[in-house]
Amino acid sequence: MARRPRLLPAVGTARNLLGASLEGILTGSVADGSAGLPLVLVACSGGTDSLALAAVAAHLVHTGRARVGAVVVDHGLQPDSHAIAERAAGAARTLGLDPVHVYRVEVRREGMGPEAAARSARYAALDDAAVTLGASAVLLGHTLDDQAEQVLLGLARGSGTRSLAGMPARRGLYVRPFLELRRADTEAICGFYGLEPWHDPTNLDPAFARSRVRAEVLPFLEDRLGPGIAQALARSARILGQDADHLSELSHRAYTGMRIEGDDGEVLLPEDGLRALPAALRQRVLALAALELGAFQPSAERLRAAESLLERKGSAGPVQLGGGVSVNRQVRGRSVLRGEPGYGNLVLGNNGAGVKKSRRPTQE
Please indicate if the annotation marks 236 as binding a ligand. Answer: no
Distance CA 13, CA 319 (A): 51
* CA-angle at 116, arms to 103 and 211, nearest 5°: 100
**What sign has the CA pseudo-torsion 217, 222, 225, 227?**
positive
Please indicate if the annotation marks 50 as binding a ligand. Answer: yes
Q: Contact at 8 Å (CB) between 288 and 252?
A: yes
Q: Contact at 8 Å (CB) between 144 and 180?
A: yes
Please indicate if the annotation marks 47 as binding a ligand. Answer: yes
Please indicate if the annotation marks 45 as binding a ligand. Answer: yes
In the sheet with 345-350, reading across from the earlier edge strand, the strands are 260-261, 267-270, 345-350, 325-329, 316-322
Q: What share of the chain is helix, strand, coil (3-state, %, to 5)?
A: 45, 15, 40
Backbone angles phi, psi at 246, to 5 degrees: -65, -45
Distance CA 348, CA 163 (A): 25
Please indicate if the annotation marks 248 as binding a ligand. Answer: no
**Which parts of 168-228 fold into alpha helices (H)?**
183-192, 209-212, 218-225
Distance CA 305, CA 327 (A): 10
Binding residues for ATP are 45-50
Binding residues are 45-50
